[in-house]
Amino acid sequence: MPIDSCDVLIVGAGPAGSTCAWRLVKAGLDVLVIDKQAFPRDKVCAGWVTPAVFESLQFDADDYAQGRVLQPICGFRTGVIGGAAGEAHYGRAVSFGIRRCEFDDYLLRRSRARLRLGEPVRSMVREGGGWLVNDEIRTPLVIGAGGHFCPVARALRGESGRSESIVAAQEIEFRLPAGERGACRIEQDVVQFYFCPDLKGYGWCFAKGEYLNIGLGREDSHELSRHVAQFREWLEGQCGIPHDLPGKFNGHAYLLYPASRRKPVDAGVLLIGDAAGLAYPRSGEGIRPAIESALMAAEVVVEATGDYQAARLAPYVERLTKRFGGKGAQQDAASWLPRGLRQSLAAKLLATGWFARHVVIDRWFLHAQQSAVVIA
Ligand SMILES: Cc1cc2nc3c(=O)[nH]c(=O)nc-3n(C[C@H](O)[C@H](O)[C@H](O)COP(=O)(O)OP(=O)(O)OC[C@H]3O[C@@H](n4cnc5c(N)ncnc54)[C@H](O)[C@@H]3O)c2cc1C
């Protein structure tokens, strides 16, 4: 096999990898993106994104919406599974529903990077000042964007990471048959979030065009399938979702920031997105941190002007900390309360319109207080 070489090799073509590629190609670098899957491919995800994501991506929504689902979301319903719900309506789009099979492919093609799709990264060996990947690709810099199970993150850790505390989630996305739309009481522009009674996770349900996405994620993966089955059964009575879903729930795991102990930088290597464990701790939103970390990494790479020693890449860690807080950040303000009291208090608060809007949605889910990362 002839050796391929590039200025930067990005492993993983999800939102993190394709955003980083887009910025680096714009800066004039020869960027190669490798992914084990052929695109378009699906990704286990609800596909809910906040407007800051589009701002960071300098996204042309009209162009995107040509033949793709872009569902404006104007309201939320929140509560505890089995309990009452509070509602928040904004009268304008405050977030959007996308389908990952469309969104990821769009971002990847838009990057104009060279692509090697359907090829897993199997090996990474340090060679001189850089890397030899799969015995075929030579590069001075590897960016790990391969999600939670990223081979670059594994190579950096030198162990499996079994001790990491993960969030486990399951979801299903399907086209709702026209004949069942009348029976399904899900408003097109309202997302429903319901927390588990023990507050260790939440389930969601929302419509995106003709598609419905239902799922549940928990910090504690023990009996996840049982929690999903209970939620699904409750939604049948609550909103009339079909009894016979046309497929199985798919599962995936990922890390929440700041619990992740992954080291995002070493000589000739950077981790971005889920590979670095950056998802927001309360909502589990990972697309925005993936895109923001990709932009910050790209900026640091350009500033390093080809010298990728660990010290030249270290400003990336500083920027991550400035953006997402240091380790131990985002402590739960109510964590000092006994668990039983927290649970009964939460059930009442979550069903209150004011708390649902100003705390759960604006602060925990929309991060309305945090402006978008934009790189000129
Ligand atoms: C059920 C569920 C629901 C979610 N819902 C939301 C949501 O609504 N909104 C939100 O913001 N976040 C959500 N998230 C989190 C979000 O999906 C991730 O945070 C986001 O996809 C991270 O993007 P990424 O680019 O870092 O990684 P990914 O999107 O995981 O992309 C990684 C890529 O790397 C490739 N890859 C992996 N291993 C290799 C290898 N060995 N060689 C080559 N390529 C490899 C994969 O094929 C993949 O294409 C959800 C997560 C789950 C599990």
Alpha carbon distance 230, 233 (integer Å): 5
The pLDDT value recorded for residue 339 is 61
Residue 217, token pair as written in the block: 């994620």
Token reading at 342 = 């927290």
Q: Residue 322: count other Cβ atoms within 10 Å of its Cβ.
A: 10
- Give 310's Cβ-side CA count (13 Å radius): 6
- Residues in the ligand 1 pocket, defined by CB under 6 Å: 11-17, 34-37, 43-49, 120-121, 145-147, 149-151, 169, 171, 215, 217, 252, 254, 273-275, 279, 284-288, 290
Pocket test for ligand 1, best of 213, 287, 364 (most atoms within 8 A of CB): 287
Q: How far apart are CA 202 and CA 75, in angstroms?
A: 17
Res 154: pLDDT: 92
Angle (deg, nearest 10), helices 287-304 and 15-26: 30
pLDDT per residue, tens digit, the chain (376 aa), is 789 999 999 999 999 999 999 999 999 999 999 999 999 999 999 999 999 999 999 999 999 999 999 999 999 998 899 988 888 899 999 999 999 999 999 999 999 999 999 999 999 999 988 999 999 999 999 999 999 999 999 998 754 455 666 899 999 999 988 778 788 888 889 999 999 988 889 999 999 999 999 999 998 888 999 999 999 999 999 999 999 898 999 999 999 888 777 899 999 999 999 999 999 988 899 999 999 999 999 999 999 999 999 999 999 999 999 999 876 555 454 455 456 656 777 777 777 878 878 888 888 888 888 999 998 8
Q: How distant is the alpha carbon of residue 136 from its chain centre?
A: 30
pTM above 0.85? yes
Length of the chain: 376
